[in-house]
Structure 1
Amino acid sequence: MFRMIEDVLPPEAVAELVQIAATSKFVDGRVSNPHSRVKNNTQLHEQGAAERVGQVVARALLGNREFFDIAFPKAIAPPILARYEPQMNYGLHPDAAMMQTPTGALRSDLSCTVFLNDPASYDGGALRVQLGSGEMRFKGRPGSAVVYPSMTLHEVEPVTRGQRLVAITFIQSRIADPVKRDLLYELNEVAALEGNNMLPENFSRLQAVQFNLMRRWTDHP
């Protein structure tokens, strides 16, 4: 499942995060991945500011219905504010399968990038996801987010002008299997779009399928 979600963050939240970035200390991005040979960016490294970024982004994501319906989130890693200046990039890589967070280990099923500045203000810097011999590229408007499978090979292409500012996080889904997760999302969408057009008894049967698949496929609460 690849999904661009618009307006995850309202303008005032975007402005707050941009202001935090402008007034806070950033360090080499490899502080969170010291063995990486392809990571070339900077990230926020002030505890109070980082905690505020995490609160704003996590609350917005978990309060967004489209994100919730896509991800079936069980846990979300503390979001990180990352910055790319000219000549910076993040080479082709998969995201780690298991991550340590303040609340324990998290399995990364989905990755999420929240865009914070105007894509016209910088050149390059697209999130490129490799799909076999094909690819997808994303550069979103401020406040938008892209959700994609953590198991994919992906990269941030070199920035050649301006500054790319994003928040990134990782999600453990209640449905680990990506095929099952996508099937249930589609089933839920059809039920939401067409349920009012169905006979009540047929809609009840459809709901039984939805709920029983959730019981079979989700992790324990």
Structure 2
Amino acid sequence: MLTPKTVPAAFSPAECDRILALAKTAPRREAQLVGQQHDPSQRRATLSWLDEAEETGWVADRLADLVRVANRESFGFDLTEFAESAQVAEYPAATGGHFDWHADIGEGPVARRRKLTLVVQLSDPGAYAGGALEIMPSAQVIAAPRERGSAILFPSFLLHRVTPVTEGTRASLTQWVHGPAFR
């Protein structure tokens, strides 16, 4: 079984603040599903893509380091690139922020090559209620750590969700890592 890999303190609280500030300089969009579909019953969040913000190279470098170590220690996948930009997602309680059960591998030439998903917790855990990132590697659901700056990596084919945020706003950074098809 390929279980998620957690990395405590992958980013410091000051770095989380910096990422959130950078995301605010990029255009914000209503979150969509793979294939540019919009379904608020499935997903309600706003997104900023870090490739649309300046001075984010340090974030990409850190994510690459996290992926390199986690893949070597836990997954052993054939990974070739980051074919998509990292995204910052905000899930506000005021708009019913959530993302129902889904896998990140999807239709389309890029989404079908997703192999690893990396999620970094940007919000302070006291800034929101609900909003748990849950991953289902088997019949038992695993909750991702809520500590600010912690990261979790998991195979993109695993089902996962963000439960509804009931107070405040949850923010996270997501990066997908791509490679040839699983065999």
TM-score, length-scaled by structure 2: 0.77
The structure with the greater share of residues assigned to helix is: 1
- The one-letter code matched in structure 2 to 1:145 is A
How far has the Cα of 1:25 moved from its partner?
3.9
Question: Could you tell me whether the CA contact under 8 Å between 2:51 and 2:86 is conserved in 1?
Answer: no
How far has the Cα of 1:173 moved from its partner?
5.3
How far has the Cα of 1:166 moved from its partner?
0.7
Question: Could you tell me whether the CA contact under 8 Å between 2:103 and 2:158 is conserved in 1?
Answer: yes
| Mapping of residues 1-221 of structure 1, within 5 Å | 1-22=3-24, 24-30=26-32, 33-37=35-39, 38-44=42-48, 48-49=52-53, 52-53=55-56, 55-64=57-66, 66-69=69-72, 70=74, 73-76=79-82, 77-86=84-93, 87-97=96-106, 100=109, 107-172=113-178, 176=182
Distance 1:147 1:175 in 2: 18
Q: How many residues are paired up?
A: 172
Distance 2:128 2:98 in 1: 13
- The one-letter code matched in structure 1 to 2:60 is A
Q: Alpha-carbon deviations, 1:31-74, whole Å to 9, x = none?
A: 8652253121110168631x644x33321022246335245542
How far has the Cα of 1:169 moved from its partner?
1.3
Distance 1:155 1:113, change over 3 A: same
- 3-state SS of the aligned residue for 2:11? coil
Distance 1:175 1:33 in 2: 19
| Identity across the alignment (%) | 23
Distance 2:177 2:5 in 1: 14
Q: Which has the higher contact order (CA 8 A, sep 6+)?
A: 2
How far has the Cα of 1:20 moved from its partner?
2.4
Question: Could you tell me whether the CA contact under 8 Å between 1:25 and 1:46 is conserved in 2?
Answer: no
How far has the Cα of 1:97 moved from its partner?
4.3
TM-score, length-scaled by structure 1: 0.66
Distance 1:68 1:170 in 2: 13
How far has the Cα of 1:100 moved from its partner?
5.0
Q: Alpha-carbon deviations, 1:149-190, whole Å to 9, x = none?
A: 11111111000111111111111258946xxxxxxxxxxxxx
Distance 2:5 2:100 in 1: 22
